[in-house]
Chains A and B, each alone.
Chain A
Amino acid sequence: MFMYEKRLQYPVKIKTPNPKLAKAIITQYGGPHGELGASLRYLSQRFSMPYPEVKAVLTDVGTEELGHLEMVGTIVYQLTRNLTPEQIKAAGFDDYFVDHTTGIYPVAASGESFSANTFSVTGDPLADLHEDLAADATTVKEQPLFSKA
């Protein structure tokens, strides 16, 4: 069961829209190393996890990732406010815009839609935990890049 809390884990207040940055950041929403995949990975792997500590961690971290997903969606939403057609074209945001306008859709920066092929659930506790470590390493590598985008 899940219940909703009507707040972000950390507040997001973006004063200056920036569709070019939005196009990069949306990959953290629906890309191969994004929060949607992270959440589904942990929440799906927990069913076959035999250890109580790890069942709890996968449940809690998988839930927290949904909170991260919400923050990333908010960032993209606020970065794409009040755009003119010229801004959309100049930022290269027109490819996304033609399908989704300024709706928030889970895609990678390359434009590829979200796919469950980006993560694994093997039913083997050690294989799954190693996959989690690899996934977490991609986040550590990728997220600092956005400050340079």
Chain B
Amino acid sequence: MNDRQALLNRISVARFAAWELHIYLDTHPNDKQAMRNFEKYQKTADELTVQYEAKYGPLISSDVYGDTSWQWINAPWPWECGEVCD
């Protein structure tokens, strides 16, 4: 696993934890402990996303920038094997 994939995996772990808490909170909207945990994982994922995007280009469509060229079209797309499958 290269550095890009390792960082992407850390983002996915934090986003998954935040998302599971998000869905739990839909039916337990007054659980303060769960809300604190949600904020913790969300903050971690957001910080890691800022790091990732600075190095490897936009991960979220609203974070797309184009100074010299439009970065959004660059590989890898999520379904592509890239350097890892073969």
Chain A residues engaging chain B, CB cutoff 8 angstroms:
3-15, 53, 56-57, 60-61, 64, 70, 73-74, 77-78, 81
Contact = CB atoms under 8 A, between A and B. Distances in A.
Among A7, A10, A64, A74, the most chain B Cβ lie within 10 Å of the Cβ of: A7
A8 B59 CA distance: 11
A3 B61 contact: yes
Nearest to A77: B79
Contacts of B72: 6
Contact of A81 (B26, B62, B81): B81
Q: Tell me whether chain B's interface is mostly helix, strand or loop, or mixed.
A: helix
Contacts of A74: 78-79
Interface in B65-84: 72, 77-79, 81, 84
Contacts of A12: 79
Interface residues of B, number: 25
Contacts of B61: 3-6
9 contacts: A3-B61, A5-B61, A7-B8, A11-B9, A56-B26, A57-B23, A57-B27, A60-B26, A74-B79
Given A15-B86, A57-B23, A60-B22, 5 more contacts: A5-B59, A14-B81, A53-B29, A64-B23, A78-B79
A9 B12 CA distance: 7
B22 to A, nearest CB: 7
B6 to A, nearest CB: 11
A9 B16 CA distance: 8
Contacts of B29: 53
Interface string B11-38: 1100010010011001101000000000
A78 B77 contact: no
Contacts of B59: 5-7
Nearest to B62: A3
